[in-house]
Structures are given as structure tokens and as C-alpha cells.
Amino acid sequence: MALRGPLTRLLRAQPDAALQLRRRAHSVALVGAPLSRGQKRRGVDHGPATLRAAGLVERLAGLGCQVHDFGDLNFTQVPNDELYNNLVLYPRSVGLASQMLADAVSRAVAAGHRCVTLGGDHSLALGSVSGHARQCPHLGVIWVDAHADINTPLTTQSGSLHGQPLSFLLRELQDKVPQLPGFSWLKPCLSASDIVYIGLRDVDPAEYYILKNFDIQYFSMRDIDRLGIKKVMERTFERLMGRRQRPIHLSFDIDAFDPSLAPATGTPVLGGLTYREGMYITEEIHNTGMLSAVDMVEVNPLLGASQEAVKATAHLAVDVIATCFGQTREGAHIAFDELPTPSSPDESDSEQQVRI
């Protein structure tokens, strides 16, 4: 019988990378990154607390993970953090926070954990991807998002850094990206062929130019409609791991989901992922055996219309993370060796007789 599924993929993997990841399989580090200066709305810094309150640690522990919760990083706002170029907001605060996060993620991965960064806005990927790449220079990134987040400081219309992190991380864009105050520590660590987007449906003109001109692989919601999520995931892994296995960084923006499912977020866009598409994405990523770090970003408890809306968004985010670490829709999370056997009919008869 031919081997199929994750085991085969692991066996085919480069022995070092796969072995290292197998050893880390059950050890998950949580790093809270209450970063909110990458955008303008209040509340996204409460994301880590909201995700923990939704039972994240218990869910991961219930899947057999050893959870190491490192708490929240203590980001301070840099004083006199003036606009860059009269437009880009809080460069020094975002730069410093991302630098701290990069160190934390790098340490967690070096210590043998898979690292989950709890956001916070999406500018934190500057730090999480950089820190992860320090330990795993050949990582591939799956960016699940309604937006491409690849404007440069010279093309951004909002000035918010959460719409720009990938422009700083991409080697091919460095002659188009100015040096921002607070960003001198940052070195680009990705090539255009290292990224796959899933879920796009709100892409700015300059971003579209970048995606096309640098041949970045993306699967928009239209592509998901056309191909179905199964083909989309097959092509994602073909692109990232067709030639060789590599550690995966999943950067998951909760606004990739349809706003009916994830209303408590800053920039919702109609027509997003269904629950089933979202779970399929993370199930398949888990099944590769190569998931090494996860960002869960843009959960903002101050933006839900009701407590229920906030709870629904947070529980969805926890489902995404749990599925990354082995929760399935088919049960069988933990090995179950033996079913209980009822006592023999004779015994129960005799017990009844005793009672009579």
C-alpha cells in the first residue's frame, strides 16, 4: 500500500528540517504582541487578551500541545513619533515594537517551540517574520488576508503601516522602500517566490502592480470561487514546497473571513472566506507537518457591534489556531487505545440476583 498524507510528506522532507519540526510538534509558544500603532482604530491592542479569554491555551492543551505562554510584550510608544513624509503613522513605535517581537519569536523558535504571535495589528509581521527567518532562513509565507499589505511608504494612501509590512520584507522591493526612522534593524528576508496569498479581495492599484510585476502568487476570493479551496491549497504547496520542504510561516488576518463571521476587526470587506474554507486552509497546512510559526492578527474587541459579535470573532480565531495544531473536524485528536467493555451478562445477572 502506498503511503499517503503527512507522513509521506515528512519522509520526503529534507531530513533536518522535518526532524526538527517533528521534535517541536507538541511544543507551542504564545507571544502576545499588543501592537496597535500600525493602524488608526482603538482596541486591537486588546487582541491577545481577547484570544486568551476565548480559551486558546486550554484548547491547545486539549490537543496535547505543551503550551508555553510568554505573556504580552511590553510595547511603549516612542515619544515625538512624528509622521514620516507627512503621511506614514508612528514609524518609530512600530519599528521598535517589531524589533522586540522579532527577538522574542527568534528566541522561541530557537528554544524548540512553534511560535504563535497574538496580535495586534498586521504591522507586527515585520517582527514575527523577521524573527522566524533568523532561525529558518528558507521559510515560506502563507498570507491569508482580504488585503495584500504590500504598499510601500510611498504608495500608501492611509499612511497605516499595517498595510505595508510585506514591502519591507521583500528583497525585490528594497530600492522602492525608503529608510524609515525606527526601521534600521530590519533586513528584508523574503523573495517574491516565498509568498502565497489566500483570500484577497481589496487590493490597491500599486499593490496590484507589485503582485503582477514581481510574479507573486495569489489566490483571490475570485480564484477560490473558480478553483475551489482544495485546488488552491494544492497549488499553494506546489508553489512553496514543490521542489523541497521548508518551514511555513502562516500570517492569518482575521479579516480574511467574511465579516458575517468575523465582524470585530478594523477593515472588514464583504465576500470573504467561509468557516469551512478557513478550516480547510489550516487543516491542510497542519497536514504538511511543516508549520513553524503563526500570526493571528486584527481581532479588535472594541469594534464588535455586540458582545456576541466579539465572542464569535475571537472563537473563530481560536478555531483557526487550534486547527493549525491538529484539531480536526473528524475527531481523533488524541490517540485512543481501547474502548471500555461492558461487564459480562452473567455478572450483571448475578448482581441483580444479589439485589433481589
What are the catalytic residues?
122, 145, 147, 149, 162, 253, 255, 298
Smallest distance, Å, CB 280 to Mn ion? 20
Smallest distance, Å, CB 124 to Mn ion? 10
Question: Cα Rg for the chain, rounded, in angstroms?
Answer: 22
Instruction: Tell me: does residue 284 bind Mn ion (CB under 5 A).
Output: no
Residue 145 annotated in ligand binding: yes
Per-residue three-class SS string for 253-312: EHHHECCCCCCCCCCCCCCCECHHHHHHHHHHHHHHCCEEEEEEECCCCCCCCCHHHHHH
Q: What is the DSSP letter of 129?
A: H
Instruction: Return the number of the residue (155 or 287) whose C-beta is nearest Mn ion.
Output: 155
Residue 295 annotated in ligand binding: no
Strands (E), 53-124: 66-72, 114-119
Instruction: Return the number of the residue (34 or 326) whose C-beta is nearest Mn ion.
Output: 34
Instruction: Tell me: does residue 295 bind Mn ion (CB under 5 A).
Output: no
Residue 113 annotated in ligand binding: no
CA 281 to chain centre: 11
Contact between 141 and 195 under an 8 Å Cβ cutoff? The reply is yes
Instruction: Tell me: does residue 149 bind Mn ion (CB under 5 A).
Output: yes
CB-based burial label for 322 (10 Å; 0-12, 13-18, 19+): buried
> What's the angle, vertex CA 262, arms to CA 218 and CA 280, rounded to 5?
50
Q: Candidates 13-21, 190-198, 252-260, 310-318: pick the segment binding Mn ion (CB under 5 A).
A: 252-260
Instruction: Tell me: does residue 207 bind Mn ion (CB under 5 A).
Output: no
Distance CA 58, CA 65 (A): 10
Instruction: Return the number of the residue (72 or 121) whose C-beta is nearest Mn ion.
Output: 121
Instruction: Tell me: does residue 253 bind Mn ion (CB under 5 A).
Output: yes
H or E, element range at 32: strand 27-33
Instruction: Return the number of the residue (160 or 236) whose C-beta is nearest Mn ion.
Output: 160
Q: Candidates 4-12, 141-149, 215-223, 310-318: pick the segment binding Mn ion (CB under 5 A).
A: 141-149
Site residues (vs Mn ion, CB under 5 A): 122, 145, 149, 253
Can you say which residues are annotated as belonging to the binding site for Mn(2+)?
Answer: 122, 145, 147, 149, 253, 255
